[in-house]
Amino acid sequence: MTAPRVVATPTADVLAAGAVLWRRAASGGVEVAVVHRPRYDDWSFPKGKLDAGETMPFAAVREIAEETGQSARLGPLLGDVRYAVAAGGKVVRYWAAEARGGGFTPGEETDELRWLPPDRATELLSYAHDRDLLARFTRTGPPFSVIALVRHAKAGSRDQWDGDDALRPLSGSGREQAQQLDRLLGLFGPDRLVSAPPVRCRDTVAPLAERLALPVADEPLLGEVGYREDPAAGLARIRELARVAGVTVVCSQGGVIPHVVETLAGAAGLTGVDQDGVPARKGSTWLLTFGPGATLRTADYYDTPTG
């Protein structure tokens, strides 16, 4: 497993984003997409500069679509590549991304696309940093399952709420965060939605549920009350969800998420992680990827709902 990473926007003169785009081959193995750029006569992974007001994960998905014709869902972060350009320092951030369908049309930026097994792609790639990214992807492998573990958005003040705390709603800024999370979580291609019982948790994923026409399953074991009463049962439920192929969004609370991440990381053999040091801001997301058997492989932390 790779160490947990905080997905924050780096400082650079030029920002860009891309991905190692992969799909399952007919043989059952994995193929990755490599594109040819006629302007540079090179072979590389799809990538490009951020548009104004765009954050890096959104840019990665957009560039994949523009350069390969594929829709994609983001998986684990692979890392940043830094180098100098005429405008100053440049950072390109790369994810692993699963191809979800589409068709390639040659254009001015990319005139050829090849789907290749990783060993053949390594031979074709023009740059050492792309070969390094592919090696990282190959070591981790495509995830069997993904859990996007979300802390609910901002709620109204507890001190100013007289009713049952489970019924305390999102604040105005919390509703805005829920709309932002709808867009961010959509990049991960959710297959199912699960929520702790409090209204503020369910309302956080309501815009996503409405847009994707997905039901929201209620899970008391992953709310603070249920988890406090039986943490082992809550962890067992998380592992059960991790054994289901595809992407599950789970909306939970600040009293649950740090312990879950710390426990899964410990079970995967990652040392130096304790729940006191695991962030879980309101409106943030831990993207957890798993291999078969519900073993944690990667953990990426999106500290804002905009990515």
Shared domain check, 107 and 201: no
Residue tagged 């050492």 (tokens) = 128
> Which CATH number belongs to the domain containing residue 38 in this structure?
3.90.79.10
**pLDDT for res 10:** 86
Shared domain check, 153 and 70: no
- The contacts of residue 76 (CB under 8 Å, 6+ apart) are 2, 95, 96, 140, 143, 287, 289, 297, 298, 300
Q: Which of 108, 140, 172 is the last residue of a domain?
A: 140
Shared domain check, 166 and 44: no
Q: How far apart are CA 181 and CA 307, in angstroms?
A: 9
In-domain check, residue 27? yes
Shared domain check, 280 and 155: yes
Strand 192-195 and strand 246-252: pairing? parallel
- The contacts of residue 246 (CB under 8 Å, 6+ apart) are 145, 146, 191, 192
Positive/negative CA dihedral, 188, 193, 199, 205: positive
Q: How far apart are CA 97 and CA 71, in angstroms?
A: 10
Closest CA to 37 of 27, 47, 26, 51: 47
> Which CATH number belongs to the domain containing residue 168 in this structure?
3.40.50.1240
Residue tagged 């350009």 (tokens) = 85
In-domain check, residue 32? yes
In-domain check, residue 307? no
Shared domain check, 16 and 82: yes
Shared domain check, 159 and 268: yes
Shared domain check, 210 and 91: no
Shared domain check, 297 and 156: yes
H/E/C letters for each residue in 42-63? Answer: EEECCEEECCCCCCHHHHHHHH
Shared domain check, 289 and 157: yes
Along the 307 residues of the chain, how does pLDDT read in single tens digits? Answer: 556 777 888 889 999 999 999 999 988 899 999 999 999 999 999 999 999 999 999 999 999 999 999 999 999 999 999 999 999 999 999 999 999 999 999 999 999 999 999 999 999 999 999 999 999 999 999 999 999 999 999 998 787 888 888 899 999 999 999 999 999 999 999 999 999 999 999 999 999 999 999 999 999 999 999 999 999 999 999 999 999 999 999 999 999 999 999 999 999 886 656 556 899 999 999 999 999 989 999 999 999 999 9
Shared domain check, 271 and 208: yes
Give the residue numbers spanning the domain of 194.
145-302
Q: Which of 97, 123, 140 is the last residue of a domain?
A: 140
DSSP 84-129: EETTEEEEEEEEEEEEEEE-----SS--EEEEE-HHHHHHH-S-HH
This prediction's pTM: 0.95
In-domain check, residue 275? yes
Q: Which of 118, 140, 162 is the last residue of a domain?
A: 140
How far is CA 69 from each of CA 66, 100, 186, rounded to the nearest angstrom?
6, 10, 18
Shared domain check, 240 and 135: no
Shared domain check, 129 and 278: no
As for how many domains the chain has, the answer is 2
Q: Which two tokens stand for residue 14?
A: 């030029």
Q: Which helix (H) or strand (E) holds 75?
A: strand 70-85
Spatial contact of 181 and 204, defined as CB atoms under 8 Å apart: yes
Positive/negative CA dihedral, 162, 165, 169, 170: positive
